[in-house]
Amino acid sequence: MVASEPGRPGCTGGRAAAGQTRFECDAEFLMEHVGTQTFHAIYHPKLFGVRLPIAFEVSEHPQATVDVTQPLRDAEFSGLGFLSAAPYGYAGNASSSAYAVSADGSVVVGLSANAAGQGEAIRWSNVAMVGLGFLSAAPNGHASQAYSYATGVSADGSVIVGGSYDAAGRPEAFRWSNGAMVGLSFLSAAPNGHASQATSHATDVSADGSVVVGYSRNAAAREEAFRWSNGAMIGLGFLSAAPGGYAHQARSFASGISADGSVIVGGSYDAAGRPEAFRWSNGAMVGLSFLSAAPGGHAYNAWSIATDVSADGSVVVGQSRNTAGAYEAFRWSNGAMVGLGFLSAAPNGHAPSATSAVNAVSADGSVGATMPRAGRRPSAGRMAKWSASGSFPERRKAMPAVSPPTDASSSAVPAARPSSGPPSTACGRSRMS
């Protein structure tokens, strides 16, 4: 039988058959049992059929340990407040959005409207929201155009990345630390010979804050994924230099990075001109393929995008079109992409409406935050948690990932509207469709 220490969970009273070597039992744990628990297998000998009051530990492999973790609770939402309760003097203009959170959950970053009504990057911690300022207080000489947003944060919350207008009015990626926002420049200072066309956007940062990823216009004015470290921004290239035979269609963007900054994920057009998720490491960008090579029977409908990656870079999550043509969340590991299904296979009775997406993944790659479609449409606040079991058992808040623009005109940071947020949000099929 398996016994327990006084006050600890365990199983008692089990009977062993002759030659039995494996024993199983169910035990209930309380919150005070969180941690490592050790179970001992003991037996009571009998003499003339009478059980003796003494107990002996089984001689071979008498102990088993189990790690008890705190159970997940129902989703809890707490408002973080605003930079200003009345932007422009009107309480109705107050707004804020969260886009990323530190490893321990103590620091949240995003965007809020300040007292002047400008959208400003924010850092929230210890129940206090602080504005991070702007790269320029008056882009192109106009204070009303000042704008910034935060999309990524380091593990300890000390480094924040995002985008802001620079002095010339160009959207520029930034890195914030120790109270100072610093622009990361661009892949090209003058795409196609025009300095006004320079843009860059930061989307994520490594655990220690030393490596930043995002996308920027290169010399040919094409949006290209970048990796920034030690003051230098480097383009990661494309899955194809000429998608569908057209060089000007080449595009890529980075949306997630591993803890040490060595693995980067995102999306790029493939040789056939189809948006495809990629994983970059050791200087090489590799396409992750699709859930279906021919959604709805048409190869040109194949589509995938990667939104996040595990701490060690071995697990990638995102969204892809399946055989039926529906957009479905996926988990990629060991060279295989697996669909994660839906909350409902036919929302409101319509199978074509089924949609799910994974926007973020846990450090070990076993749990993802998703946006499945259960009813008529996906809605903020009704996010789902996906676990390795392959189901959507709980609803959780998920952070949006940033995807790239489809053309040069749409890549700029939105106008100074507090509610607009970063250039784009998760599941934005229109960005690469």
User: Alpha carbon 176 to chain centroid distance?
Assistant: 20
Task: Confirm whether 73 is domain-assigned.
Answer: no
117/147 Cα distance (integer angstroms): 10
Asked if residue 177 lies in contact with residue 153, where contact means CB atoms within 8 angstroms, the answer is: no
User: Looking at residues 264-290, what average pLDDT do you find?
Assistant: 97
Domain with 218, as residue range(s), is 88-431
387/432 Cα distance (integer angstroms): 27
CA distances from residue 361 to 306, 333, 373 in whole angstroms, order as listed: 11, 13, 19
Residue 428 has pLDDT above 50, yes or no: no
Question: Is the same domain home to 173 and 295?
Answer: yes
Name the residue among 373, 396, 367 with its Cα closest to residue 383. Answer: 396
Asked if residue 384 lies in contact with residue 371, where contact means CB atoms within 8 angstroms, the answer is: yes
Name the residue among 20, 23, 29, 18 with its Cα closest to residue 71. Answer: 29
pLDDT level of residue 305 (50, 70, 90 thresholds): very high
Task: Confirm whether 159 is domain-assigned.
Answer: yes
Task: Confirm whether 133 is domain-assigned.
Answer: yes
Question: Is the same domain home to 59 and 208?
Answer: no
Name the residue among 359, 300, 358 with its Cα closest to residue 325. Answer: 300
Q: What domain count does the chain have?
A: 2
The pTM of this model reads 0.74
User: Looking at residues 9-38, what average pLDDT do you find?
Assistant: 61
Question: Is the same domain home to 192 and 56?
Answer: no
Q: What is the percentage of the chain residues whose pLDDT exceeds 90?
A: 59
pLDDT, one tens digit per residue, over 136-150 is 999 999 999 999 999
Question: Is the same domain home to 201 and 292?
Answer: yes
Task: Confirm whether 130 is domain-assigned.
Answer: yes
Task: Read off φ and ψ for residue 384, nearest 5 degrees.
Answer: -125, 150
pLDDT of res. 239: 98
Task: Confirm whether 76 is domain-assigned.
Answer: no
pLDDT level of residue 276 (50, 70, 90 thresholds): very high
Average pLDDT, the chain: 80
Using a 10 angstrom Cβ sphere, with 0-12 exposed, 13-18 middle and 19 or more buried, the burial of residue 420 is middle
User: Looking at residues 310-333, what average pLDDT do you find?
Assistant: 95
Contacts of 265 (CB under 8 A, 6+ apart): 254, 255, 256, 257, 277, 278, 279, 280, 306, 307, 308, 309, 316, 318
373/354 Cα distance (integer angstroms): 6
Question: Is the same domain home to 144 and 20?
Answer: no
Question: Is the same domain home to 202 and 112?
Answer: yes
68, 99, 116 - which closes a domain: 68
Residue 254 has pLDDT above 60, yes or no: yes
pLDDT, one tens digit per residue, over 213-237 is 999 999 999 999 999 999 999 999 9
113/109 Cα distance (integer angstroms): 13
pLDDT of res. 412: 31
pLDDT level of residue 49 (50, 70, 90 thresholds): low
Owner of token pair 């802001």? 164
Contacts of 288 (CB under 8 A, 6+ apart): 276, 277, 278, 279, 304, 306, 316, 332, 337
By mean pLDDT, which of 109-118, 158-167, 178-187, 353-362 is the weakest? 353-362
Our CA dihedral for 112, 227, 102, 165, rounded to 10 degrees, sits at -10
272/269 Cα distance (integer angstroms): 8
pLDDT of res. 320: 96
User: Looking at residues 383-390, what average pLDDT do you find?
Assistant: 50
pLDDT level of residue 279 (50, 70, 90 thresholds): very high
Residue 174 has pLDDT above 50, yes or no: yes
Question: Is the same domain home to 28 and 163?
Answer: no
User: Looking at residues 281-304, what average pLDDT do you find?
Assistant: 96
